[in-house]
Structures are given as structure tokens and as C-alpha cells.
Structure 1
Amino acid sequence: MRMEIESRVLLIVLGTLICLSSVAHAASGTATFYTPPYVPSSCYGFQDNGVMIAAASDVLWNNREACGKRYRIECTGATNQGVPRPCTGQSVVVQIVDYCPPGCAGTIDLSSEAFSIIANPDAGKVMITYTQV
């Protein structure tokens, strides 16, 4: 009987840890957006990489190591009171193709198309979680 209880407790603890590990890998930051033209870019010059793209701030850039990495972005809330509920409830996966230089207003500067999937563009800047995929 005691062994059964210990096994159940162990399974519950392991299940909880597995669930929390996926949440623990998401980082928090802010997202802004930029508009076309999207080329040239710091990573790929004049190569067209579509519209599900982003520019990395110094938080992610790491001397061009961010180039080509993909991130799942989710809006978590407003950064100001201008748009009370800016988030759409959707997520988007973007590829880093550019650099958002020092003074960049967001952790990740999304293409306008990517930003509009996760948030109302009228918000301009939103709180996010992001995870490399």
C-alpha cells in the first residue's frame, strides 16, 4: 500500500515537472513591428525571406548568431492603456532575418504581418513570451 502511494506521488511530481519545463523555456519581452520593404536585411542581404520574419534586438542578436533562428511569439498583454486588450490569442512563428539596432523599442521587432497575427497593430508595442523552435 505504501509503495503504491509513493509511486503515485512520484508520477504526479514527474508529470508536474514535465509540464513546467515547457513553460520555463519561454522568455518574456516586448514586440514592436516594422513595415516593408523587408530587404535588404542584416542576415540575408537582398534575399526575400517572406513576411513571417523579425529583427532581433541586442537581447537576442549575439553578433549575428540569431540569424535564421525561429521563434514562437505569443502576445501576453498591453504595454500601455491605449489598447486595453491588444492580444488576439494566437501565436506566430517568425525567422530572425534582421538586426534591430541599439535603442530598439522591443525585444523582437516583427514584420507588420506577423505582429497583426498576435496583436492589434494599434497597440504598437505589446508584452510577449517567446520560445526558440
Structure 2
Amino acid sequence: MHLSPATRCPGYGKDQLPDGGLFVAAGNGIWDNGAACGRRYRLRCLSGLRRPCKDGFIVVEVVDVCRSNPCPSTMVLSDQAFDAISRFPNTKINIEYAQ
């Protein structure tokens, strides 16, 4: 995912993104008119083609809104977050998440 330097969430410039790169852009279903900014979600990969899921959970932080309209997913994960839960970089996965 490539975020523009200015995100829709205040306080998240290019130099202020969460440590380790574990962040997401929120899809329309969880964006909540910007109330999702700064929310943390625990998530894990559930399934996908060719069994892409790695074991375990990660914690991600919402720093932006999905820029595609309509957004293709509930969350658009940063490259680091996606790599932490999937063995394959360019695949679709199903995730489970809780705030």
C-alpha cells in the first residue's frame, strides 16, 4: 500500500507512522467518518488461495482511509503488515479482526 504523505488521520505524516510499519487504511465499513483514526485492531489471516496464511496475530493501527471508491476491502494493509500475516505478497486473503 502506498500512502500519500498526508493521511486523512491527523498526526500521521510520513515520519510519524507506527513503528514496524504495522498500519492500515480503513475501508468504508470501519472508517466511521474518521472516528477509526488511531484505532488498533488485532488481526490474523484466515484463508486465501494456496494457503497463504502465517500463524499468529498482529496489531495494526488505522492511519488513513482507503482511497479507492469503492474500497475493495475492509482494510488495506501496509506492505509490512501484509508480509507479517501472509506468505505471498500479491494475493487476496481473508482476515479476522477485533478492536
Task: Provide the TM-score with structure 2 as the length reference.
Answer: 0.84
**Shift in alpha-carbon separation, 1:105–1:89, aligned structure 2, 3 A:** same
More helix by share: 1
Residue segments in structure 1 that go unaligned for 5+ positions in a row:
1-33
SS of aligned partner of 1:63: helix
Deviating runs (4+, > 4 A) in structure 1?
none
Q: Which residue of 50, 61, 82 maps to 1:115?
A: 82
Which one has the largest radius of gyration? Answer: 1
- Provide the residue aligned with 1:58 in structure 2: 28
What is the CA deviation profile of residues 44-78 of structure 1, one whole-angstrom value per residue up to 9, with x for unaligned ones? 35251231110000010010000000001110000
Count of equivalent residues: 94
Residue segments in structure 2 that go unaligned for 5+ positions in a row:
none
RMSD: 1.8
Distance in 1, matches of 2:4 and 2:58, equals 18
Task: Provide the TM-score with structure 1 as the length reference.
Answer: 0.64
Given that residues 82 and 89 in structure 2 are in contact (C-alpha distance below 8 angstroms), is that contact kept between their aligned partners in structure 1?
no
